[in-house]
Structure 1
């Protein structure tokens, strides 16, 4: 099992969650679409060569984002990652997988 953690702007929260749920993340026993989320602020500065979804090159951007966490099995990890990257609006998606025991 893995815990997937990713950060997504508020505008794309539900669509990105649905994409990774459809790929097999967020299932625990007799439940699906399970996650934990919290709103916060992310910041970044696009550098030369970037094509940012939000903000401008060489300007610091602060945006309302959600940190989303959910579990997934090893068998769906590649499919979930592909779905996350496809659905997410950012050029560089901030995410990580953490091995967990369940």
Structure 2
């Protein structure tokens, strides 16, 4: 199993969560659409090659974002990744997987 962690602006939080849930993430036993989320502030500065969803090239941007965490099984990892990247508004999506053990 894996724990997926990603960061998403509040404006797209529910849309992205639904996409990864439909791809198979967030199921624990007899429960689905399970996740943990917390609001925080992200920052980034687009370089000259960027086409930013938010902010301007060369300018530091700070935005309210959510950190979302959920588990998924190995066999849906590729589909969950595709769903996340497809639904997320950012050109470069900040996310990572952590391999975990399950009972």
TM value normalised by structure 2: 0.99
Which residue pairs with 1:63 in the alignment?
63
Alpha-carbon distance in 2 for matches of 1:97, 1:39: 20
CA distance in 2, matches of 1:78, 1:64: 28
TM-score (norm 1): 1.00
1:49: Cα distance to partner? 1.0
Q: Partner of 1:83: helix, strand, or coil?
A: helix
Query: 5 Å matches for 1:18-97?
Result: 18-97=18-97
Match of 1:11 in 2: 11
- Aligned to 2:57, what secondary structure does the other structure show? coil
What SS does structure 1 have at the residue aligned with 2:7?
strand
Task: Write out the 4+ residue segments of structure 1 that deviate beyond 6 Å after TM superposition.
Answer: none
Taking only aligned residues, the RMSD between alpha carbons, in angstroms, comes to 0.2
